[in-house]
């Protein structure tokens, strides 16, 4: 990875950047590693076991941050989609940020579901139960896999951007349903501990702090991945455009040859 | 297109599973026979707190009593419940009531949204083992 910046026109031999790293992403990457080390120390070491759940409570420090950041990622997708759709410039940069953010959100959500199933087996006694929270979460997960599939349907970059922006704005409306599903229906999944309206958090102080470390660590990881992924998407678009240009040039050259 | 089709099928399966599961009506112990849908002659999902000193294990069969808002219901379950099953914790039992006893075929332990550090010095009885704390 070289230090070439995407936007700054460095006097390089190629007009395209040779990597997706910048000084900012490297600093961010180091901060992510440090925060993850902190999370391991607090999640597995300093934080206490729970009275009822004992050691299995430590799954919380991955389960909760990953789903919160997945929500954040989908909100970023929606905002970015709106910026593309309603912006005057119709900038494809917004579309790439939307796509990259959704991809990372889906990965984070997969982590939430996997560790959640393990946690469910340990505390509830079952991996899965078709209750309100789990069902709505699964629905949100496949919705965004659908979003990613729509992005790959083909057509021009702007066709892709327009189609997916509409879906990105609609899909985000599912998140409030997932969050309040535990209040709307009777559910095996417990209600919210931290994100509740009465502000009465029933959680041991060190556990809450470990959760906070987890949120910081996964937020940093998200931003780092988002920067790199949206830049590789820019490069992918560039390769596609180049390929099209070359194909057109080849076709024109062919036509020239045929003509006397 | 193939992925998109797969996604639509997956969404449909999820919705039907949820609806199919909702057929086992979710009731609290005190609602059996009173709340509409919680009739005692159908399959139910019953939520209640495991009564202190009520758990007995005899030749692979677990019996215990669950309570909610003062109402009690004896439960018989073939096998040993998994998870963190113990007295004073809220549970959800799937099954059918036969002669006043809930014949459970699935027991799930519900966890509250409260997290507290384990403390080996604590000797006083569990303060949450009171009716209506589910």
Nearest residue of B to residue A54, measured between CA atoms: B118
pLDDT score at B130: 54
First to last CA, chain B: 46
Query: Rounded to whole angstroms, how far apart are CA atoms B62 and B93?
Result: 12
Look up the CATH number of the domain holding residue B43. 2.40.50.140
Taking 90 as the threshold, does the pLDDT of residue A198 lie above it?
A: no
Do B83 and A191 count as a contact with CB atoms less than 8 A apart?
A: no
Contacts A124 to B, Cβ<8 Å: 83, 108-111
- Any idea what the Cα angle at residue B131 is, between residues B130 and B134, rounded to 5°? 95
Q: In Å, what is the CA distance from B3 to each residue of A136, A137, A142, A163?
A: 20, 19, 11, 16
Q: How far is A86 from chain B (nearest CA, A)?
A: 26
Q: Which structural domain range is residue B129 located in?
A: 25-134
pLDDT of chain B, 134 residues: tens digit per residue = 778 888 888 888 887 777 666 656 678 888 888 877 788 788 888 989 998 888 888 888 999 999 988 889 999 998 888 888 888 888 999 999 988 899 998 899 888 778 888 765 554 555 556 544 44
Rounded mean pLDDT, A159-178:
93
Instruction: Convert the pLDDT of each residue in A71-108 to its tens digit.
Output: 999 999 999 999 999 998 889 999 999 999 999 999 99
Do A123 and B117 count as a contact with CB atoms less than 8 A apart?
A: no
Query: Rounded to whole angstroms, how far apart are CA atoms A50 and A61?
Result: 13
Lowest mean pLDDT segment, chosen from A17-26, A228-237, B21-30, B86-95: B21-30
pLDDT score at A7: 46
Q: Which residues contact A70 (CB under 8 A, 6 or more apart)?
A: A105, A106, A108, A109, A112
Lowest mean pLDDT segment, chosen from A24-33, A156-165, B24-33, B125-134: B125-134
The A residues from 103 to 122 touching B (CB cutoff 8 Å) are 121-122
Interface check for B4 against chain A (CB to CB < 8 A): the answer is yes
Do A50 and B81 count as a contact with CB atoms less than 8 A apart?
A: no
B95 within some domain? yes
pLDDT score at B121: 56
B17 within some domain? no
B67 within some domain? yes
Q: b/e per residue, B79-99, with b = 16+ CB within 10 A?
A: eebebbbeebbbbbbbbebee
Contact of A119 with A54, CB cutoff 8 Å: no
Spell out the domain ranges in chain A.
Answer: 23-190+204-237
Is A106 strand, coil or helix?
A: helix
Query: Rounded to whole angstroms, how far apart are CA atoms A141 and B10?
Result: 10
What ipTM score was computed for the predicted complex, to two decimals? 0.73
Q: How far is B99 from chain A (nearest CA, A)?
A: 27
Query: Rounded to whole angstroms, how far apart are CA atoms A59 and A65?
Result: 10
pLDDT score at B5: 82
B12 within some domain? no
pLDDT score at A12: 42
In terms of Cα–Cα distance, which of A175, A25, A50 is closest to B117? Answer: A50
| Alpha-carbon dihedral angle through residues A203, A204, A208, A214, given to the nearest 10 degrees | -110
Other CB atoms within 10 A of residue A235 CB: 15
Please state, for a pLDDT cut of 90, what percent of chain A lies above it. Answer: 56
How many domains does chain B divide into?
A: 1
Residue of A123, A144, A174, A214 to mutate, testing the B interface (most B Cβ within 10 Å of its Cβ) = A123
Query: Rounded to whole angstroms, how far apart are CA atoms A57 and A61?
Result: 8
Beta strands in chain B (DSSP E): 25-28, 44-50, 56-58, 61-68, 71-78, 90-98, 101-109
Position of tokens 């303060």?
A: B127
B93 within some domain? yes
B103 within some domain? yes
Interface check for B26 against chain A (CB to CB < 8 A): the answer is yes
């Amino acid at each position: 990875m070289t230090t070439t910046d995407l936007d700054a026109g460095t006097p390089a031999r190629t007009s395209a950047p040779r990597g997706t790293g910048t000084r900012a992403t490297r600093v961010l990457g180091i901060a992510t590693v440090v925060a993850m080390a902190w999370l391991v120390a607090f999640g597995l070491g300093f934080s206490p076991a729970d009275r009822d759940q004992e050691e299995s409570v430590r799954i919380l420090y991955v389960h909760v941050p990953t789903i919160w950041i997945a929500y954040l990622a989908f909100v970023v997708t929606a905002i970015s989609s709106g910026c593309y759709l309603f912006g005057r410039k119709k900038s494809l940069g917004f579309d790439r940020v939307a796509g990259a953010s959704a991809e990372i959100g889906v990965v984070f959500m997969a982590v939430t579901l996997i560790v959640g199933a393990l946690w469910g087996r340990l505390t509830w006694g079952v991996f899965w139960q078709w209750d309100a929270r789990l069902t709505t979460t699964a629905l949100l997960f496949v919705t965004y896999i659908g979003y990613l599939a729509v992005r790959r349907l083909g057509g021009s970059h702007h066709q892709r951007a327009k189609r997916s922006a509409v879906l990105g704005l609609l899909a985000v409306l599912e998140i409030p349903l997932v969050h309040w599903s535990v209040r709307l229906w009777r559910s095996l999944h417990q209600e919210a501990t931290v994100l509740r309206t009465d502000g009465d958090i029933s959680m041991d102080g060190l556990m809450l702090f470990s959760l906070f470390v987890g949120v910081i660590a996964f937020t940093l990881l998200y931003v780092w991945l988002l920067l790199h992924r949206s830049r590789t998407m820019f490069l992918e678009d560039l390769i596609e455009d180049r390929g099209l240009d070359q194909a057109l040039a080849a076709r024109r050259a062919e036509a020239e040859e045929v003509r006397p | 297109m193939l992925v998109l089709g797969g996604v639509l099928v997956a969404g449909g399966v999820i919705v039907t599973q949820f609806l199919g599961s909702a057929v086992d009506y979710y009731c609290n112990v005190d609602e059996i026979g009173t709340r509409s849908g919680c009739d005692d002659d159908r399959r139910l999902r019953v939520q209640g707190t495991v009564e202190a000193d009520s758990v007995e294990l005899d030749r692979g069969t677990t019996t215990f009593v669950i309570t909610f808002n003062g109402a009690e219901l004896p439960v018989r379950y073939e096998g040993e419940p998994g998870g963190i099953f113990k007295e004073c914790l809220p549970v959800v039992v799937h099954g059918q009531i036969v002669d006043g006893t809930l014949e459970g075929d699935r027991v799930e332990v519900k966890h509250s949204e409260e997290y507290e550090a384990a403390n080996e010095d604590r000797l006083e009885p569990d303060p949450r083992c009171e009716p209506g704390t589910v």
